[in-house]
Amino acid sequence: MEMDNKRTNLIINYIPQTLTDEEFRSMFLSIGPIKSAKIVRDKATGYSYGFGFVDYENVEDAQRAMQTLNGLQMQNKTIKVALARPGGEEIKGANLYVRNLPRHYQQMDLERLFQQFGTIIQSRVLTDQATGVSKGVGFVLFDQKKQAEEAINQITGTVPAGGTEALLIKFADDNAKKVRPPAMPYINTAPCFPAPGPMRSPGNRFRYNPVTGNYSTPNSGLSLSQGGYVIFVYNIGASSCEKTLWQLFSPFGTVQKVNIMRDHQKGQSKNYGFVTMTNLQEAQNAIARLNGYDYAGCGRPLQVKFKN
């Protein structure tokens, strides 16, 4: 039984900051029954640290969740779904706080610097909310504490390639009182309408089921993106955001990616976007149900079709 527990508990990394706990739970509940699901947040502010845990009732459902949802693109993130590490003293204190990173460093650069010391569970580089420029500070969470200790011993005080300052590396817990969670990134969510129509219609029961065993042969003329089917959606309104468009399509099947075209000078949507779905039949069903639907409640029905 203890071994089964290790095989049902999953860790999910790179969760978008705007994803709610209920959306997180619903996404994984669609695979099968779960014991628990939670996004790890700062207790004082509620800020999401970008990762969470899901514990399934059955090993088979946990395996399907990893196979189906690992690598799913949500907003500007690609989530990572894997088995969670077992508890124990060897994994405590494996989170590092890193200062004096070169300002051009991104997450991949940070991981490249530390991956020689062991398995990295998660990493992030803090950026300025207004400018998007790196603050020269990052966090690296290793699989085991001894790997984090090795990184501290080997590269503390060294100057990384492209940098001008020596790295200062400490265990993250040592800086818990000094470092505040970064501010929430700006996302145009006003009014960001709640999930409409299909999810609430009593006459049609839709169940979001990302597990699909059959993949159809693509029709000629359909646009494919990484094995998915790209849907063009028009009349979504100037205030629409990726979150609500994802909510609109997710009841019909697995949504790989949502991309809203934006007018950056006006700070609003250009009134259209693209949704990529995994399965052809699910994409066709979404088009049939949503084409003509008054999404924004403003009398302008959606135009939904495959991108040619």
Q: Which residue has the higher pLDDT, 199 or 36?
A: 36
> Is residue 242, in this structure, part of any structural domain at all?
yes
pLDDT of res. 184? 34
> Is residue 254, in this structure, part of any structural domain at all?
yes
Q: Taking residues 5-20, what's their average pLDDT?
A: 83
Q: Which of 42, 59, 83 is the last residue of a domain?
A: 83
Residues 112 and 168 in one domain: yes
> Is residue 211, in this structure, part of any structural domain at all?
no
> Is residue 212, in this structure, part of any structural domain at all?
no
Q: Taking residues 99-126, what's their average pLDDT?
A: 88
Cα–Cα distances in angstroms (integers) from residue 56 to residues 6, 35, 80, in the given order: 10, 5, 17
> Is residue 146, in this structure, part of any structural domain at all?
yes
Chain centroid to CA 260: how far?
Answer: 16
Q: Where are the beta strands (DSSP E) in the chain?
A: 9-13, 34-41, 48-56, 73-74, 77-78, 80-83, 95-99, 120-127, 134-142, 168-171, 224-225, 228-234, 255-263, 268-277, 303-306
Residues 70 and 108 in one domain: no
Q: Taking residues 224-230, what's their average pLDDT?
A: 73
pLDDT of res. 90? 42
Burial class from Cβ neighbours inside 10 Å (0-12, 13-18, 19+) for residue 74 reads buried
Closest CA to 241 of 203, 201, 287, 188: 188
* pLDDT at residue 281 greater than cutoff 90: no
> Is residue 217, in this structure, part of any structural domain at all?
no
Residues 71 and 101 in one domain: no
**What range does the domain containing 25 cover?**
9-83
Q: Which of 177, 194, 210 is the last residue of a domain?
A: 177
Encode pLDDT of 143-154 as tens digits: 788 889 999 999
Q: How far apart, in whole angstroms, are the C-alpha atoms of residue 141 and residue 192?
A: 34
Closest CA to 291 of 277, 305, 273: 305
The tokens for 40 are: 């790890």
Residues 58 and 112 in one domain: no
pLDDT class for 262, splitting at 50, 70, 90?
Answer: confident
Encode pLDDT of 34-74 as tens digits: 999 999 887 777 778 788 899 999 999 999 999 888 888 87
Angle between helices 242-249 and 280-290 (to 10 degrees): 100
pLDDT of res. 305? 92
Model confidence, pTM:
0.41
> Is residue 221, in this structure, part of any structural domain at all?
no
- Which SS3 state, helix, strand or coil, does residue 242 take? helix
The answer to whether 228 and 298 have CB atoms below 8 angstroms apart is no
Q: Which residue has the higher pLDDT, 56 or 188?
A: 56
pLDDT of res. 159? 92
Name the domain count of the chain.
Answer: 3
pLDDT class for 177, splitting at 50, 70, 90?
Answer: very low
Q: Which of 24, 53, 83 is the last residue of a domain?
A: 83
Residues 234 and 261 in one domain: yes
CATH number of the structural domain spanning residue 57? 3.30.70.330
Q: How far apart, in whole angstroms, are the C-alpha atoms of residue 104 and residue 99?
A: 13
Residues 76 and 104 in one domain: no
Q: State the CB neighbour count (10 A cutoff) for residue 289.
A: 18
For 35, half-sphere exposure in the C-beta direction (CA atoms, 13 angstrom radius) is 11
* pLDDT at residue 92 greater than cutoff 70: no
Residues 77 and 112 in one domain: no
Chain centroid to CA 278: how far?
Answer: 17
> Is residue 209, in this structure, part of any structural domain at all?
no
Residues 249 and 274 in one domain: yes
